[in-house]
Amino acid sequence: PLRIKIFMWFVHKQVILTKDNLIKRRWVGSSRYCFCDHDETIQHLFLECPLAKLLWRMIHIAFNITPPVDIDSLFGTWLARAEHITAARIRIGICALLWA
Let me know if 40 is exposed, middle or buried by CB neighbors in 10 A (0-12, 13-18, 19+).
buried
d(CA 50, CA 36): 8
Report the chain's mean pLDDT, rounded to a whole number: 83
C-alpha to C-alpha distance for 100 and 88, rounded to whole angstroms: 18
DSSP string covering 57-77? HHHHHHH--PPPSSHHHIIII
pLDDT tens per residue, range 25-52: 998 888 888 888 888 899 999 899 998 9
Domain ranges of the chain: 2-99
Write down the pTM of the prediction: 0.76
Q: State which residues of the chain have pLDDT below 70.
A: 77-87
For residue 32, the 8-state DSSP code is: B
